[in-house]
Amino acid sequence: MIYDMKDAEKKLKERVGQVLKCKGLNVNSASRILDIPQRTLNRQVNEDGKVGMELLYAVMDTFHDISPVWLVTGEGDMLAANENEAVSFADASPYYEELPVSAGLRCAFDPTKEVASGYISMPRWRAQFYFPVIGTSMEPEIHAGDIIGVNRVESLRELDPDKIYMIVTNESRMIKRCYHDAENPELLWCVSPNYPSFAINKNDICALFHVVNRIERL
């Protein structure tokens, strides 16, 4: 069977719309309740924008009677069997076992087009996504076989050279420390303890994530 991504995105958008209708909300009132900018919410619900993970998390965290399984996959009923089911799922983050992050180059990551292998719940260190790590360039801080949790960084201006980031381009997915080039504002330097530093063009970056926690390999 061929998986139709556009059809899946359309149905996800429809389910979010169903939730708002069920709750008697329009984009304006939902924006306040979900704490998502009205323009962003309108683009994702009523226009051609893709439904983001932030919106899905907001719906699950706000409406505990909505089945998260139905919301994400369309399976089952819209209303959760019980509140504990919804809360426990909303506290978990998707884990992509088949998408390892390398200190080198790996294929890119788009959360709207990938299927999670499972979910990890660590409420104290809430992360949007979890990935396994391969490669040794970030040792001894992060080892091959570890699992990292990451949160999206909205602006390159937020970069902290003391933090570790997952950098996603069209052709790569890697973890590095980063800093801005002192002379060329278009370049970002990627640094790791065990390999030479290199620069990438900021325009090539599709997304940037801050590594917020790590599960050590056994």
Full pLDDT tens readout for the chain, 218 residues: 343 557 777 888 899 999 999 989 898 989 988 888 899 999 988 888 888 877 887 888 788 788 887 888 788 888 876 655 555 555 677 787 777 776 444 455 666 566 677 777 776 677 888 899 988 889 999 999 999 999 888 888 888 999 999 998 877 789 999 999 999 999 999 999 988 999 999 999 888 899 999 988 76
Give just the sign of the alpha carbon dihedral 104, 154, 110, 59: positive
**CA-to-CA distance for 2 and 76, rounded, in angstroms?**
22
What residues form DSSP beta bridges with 168? 173, 207
Q: Which domains does the chain have, with CATH numbers?
A: 5-90 (1.10.260.40), 94-215 (2.10.109.10)
